A and B are shown apart, each in its own frame.
Chain A
Amino acid sequence: MPSEDTKERIAKVVDVTRTFLHYAWIPMIIYVGFTRSNPQPSLIKCVAISIFSEYDFTNYYTQD
């Protein structure tokens, strides 16, 4: 049986992990979504997308 000290430490680690994942989960999805899609938009457009959902992406296909 782990000691009280270890249990407390585990509880604290779990709490910190939960807080971190709570705030980092959605930015992680956005980051993965923009780095793995073709074409890759720049960072400014990343931020703009998350605010204005109706941003028109068709201009990417004419960039060259």
Chain B
Amino acid sequence: MHPFASYVLRNYYKATGWNEDNLFTNLTRSSDAILDFNVPKGLHLSISKSPNALFKTTYSMNAMPSLNGSVGYIFTSCDLNVKNSGDVRFKDMVERFRVYDQPRRPEGKGEEWLAGERVDTRDYLMYGRLYIPTGRLDALYSTRLSANLQGIVAAISDPPSPLSAQANVSNLMLSLQHDVGKWCTEYTYSAEDSMWGIKALHNFGRIAGSGNAADSSQTPTRVGLKRIDEEDAVEGGLRGRLSAGAEIYLSAKEKSAGVSTGIRFSTIPEAKTPSTGGSTSIIIPPQPPTTITALFNPMLGHLSGAYSARVSPDLALSSRFDFNVYSYESEWTMGAEYWLRRDNDPDSELSSPAVESSKKRIHGVVKARASTNNDVAILWEGRMRNMLISLGVIADFSSQSRVKPIRAMGMELAYFSSDDSVS
């Protein structure tokens, strides 16, 4: 999907209270954001506009290697404030490393009554994008069927023509997501190869909002006798939560199946100091936000382990090792994400240096990755005046391409604005 459309979709999920992190598809999202970022190839321009809170238009043009463009429209049933590219929070626009808190059971909209009639409507989002020279259509329809159920219909359609009837890329994908906080399942169907899929993710431990805050405040004050074989808690280590999931695919047309499983450990974001009534309270030392994932596909024999951590407020590092147990092929990828901050205005009134450093505005991010098989890629994303800019380069330093190490480079310019005067 186009970056602006992905941004609107993320906003829509946030506005309707849908937790994307609880899907098995997004298990490795944190490490993918650092290691699998997209480098633009050629020149991309994109202008988007939000005439009101419900309707958005987006136009894009790619100038190199070949000239093509696309026109897209998005309509949502709920108000979305996407702001302008000049003043949107920069971190919201970039796919980045982040840790999510314990998932909670999604809540519905609640009933709205007006003059004795029920007037709340189902939330939905409609998206369509038409590529100009080829006539290809990308479409997405997402609707919240109930508090815990969301349905998505996505389609790619080539213009029907008698000549290319065989080479049609058309496909229709249906997806039903059921999220209850503790676990989340997704049922998918893809029409092109009649593939049915089931994915499930289970979160161990307490889920948020289950009313156990009082219990957690009791444990620090518990002083008493220990059992003879009870050991003291080991100091150090990471406090976090564990999630495990699996997916199964069955293709009726090609009579094949696929299975894969995964597990993720993720630290909990810094908890706010609990307002307990107890006299003692544990001083919780800060820990770097960390995500550790492992994936295993027994059919293809593919093992993958990744470790990502934010080691300082502006730097996140990630490392991933892929291994195939049948062919013994392996790949090691390392990546980093570094946020650039600009100095404050000289005439600001902040006095203490600590407050000043936290108020420095983020004006860009630099992402880099290096891999044993592939290439070295560097990407800079920033904001200049009111536009968002991405500059990236992919280089190949292997001996085969010593003559031309630069494989690809590109630039992407994006501008969007919203016209709604409603706050």
- Count CB-based A-B contacts (< 8 Å): 60
A18 touches B170 (CB 8 A): yes
Interface centre among A22, A30, A38, A55 (most CB of B within 10 A): A22
Q: How far is the CB of A38 from chain B (nearest CB, A)?
A: 7
A58 proximity list for chain B (CB < 8 A): 419, 421
In the complex, A2 Cα to B226 Cα: how many Å?
71
B157 touches A18 (CB 8 A): yes
Known: A29-B75, A29-B126. A22 touches B160 (CB 8 A): yes
Beta-carbon contacts of A15-42 to B below 8 Å, as 1s and 0s?
A: 1001101100110111011101110000
Within 8 A of A (CB), among B30-60: 47-49, 51-52, 54-55, 57, 59
Known: A26-B128, A33-B55. A15 touches B160 (CB 8 A): yes
> Number of A interface residues, CB 8 Å?
25
Interface centre among A53, A54, A55 (most CB of B within 10 A): A53
B137 touches A26 (CB 8 A): yes
B220 contacts A by Cβ under 8 Å: no
Q: Is the interface of A mostly helix, strand, loop or mixed?
A: helix
In the complex, A54 Cα to B227 Cα: how many Å?
73
Known: A18-B170, A49-B57, A54-B49. A25 touches B419 (CB 8 A): no
Q: Is the interface of B mostly helix, strand, loop or mixed?
A: strand
Q: How far is the CB of A45 from chain B (nearest CB, A)?
A: 10
> Number of B interface residues, CB 8 Å?
26
Q: How far is the CB of B159 from chain A (nearest CB, A)?
A: 6
A19 proximity list for chain B (CB < 8 A): 160
Q: How far is the CB of B283 from chain A (nearest CB, A)?
A: 53
A61 touches B73 (CB 8 A): no
A22 touches B159 (CB 8 A): yes
B126 touches A49 (CB 8 A): no
B362 contacts A by Cβ under 8 Å: no
Q: Which of B51, B54, B155 is the one whose CB lies under 8 Å from A49?
A: B51
B51 touches A57 (CB 8 A): yes
Known: A22-B160, A54-B49, A57-B419. A37 touches B139 (CB 8 A): no
In the complex, A36 Cα to B126 Cα: how many Å?
13
Q: How far is the CB of B125 from chain A (nearest CB, A)?
A: 10
In the complex, A34 Cα to B130 Cα: how many Å?
19
In the complex, A37 Cα to B419 Cα: how many Å?
13
In addition to A34-B55, A36-B75, A49-B51, 8 A-B residue pairs with Cβ atoms within 8 Å of each other are A21-B155, A21-B157, A26-B128, A28-B126, A29-B128, A37-B54, A57-B52, A57-B419
Chain B residues with a Cβ under 8 A of chain A: 47-49, 51-52, 54-55, 57, 59, 71, 73-75, 126-128, 130, 137, 139, 155, 157, 159-160, 170, 419, 421
Q: Give me the 6 closest cross-chain CB pairs, A-B, nearest first.
A: A33-B55, A26-B128, A33-B75, A29-B73, A22-B157, A37-B52
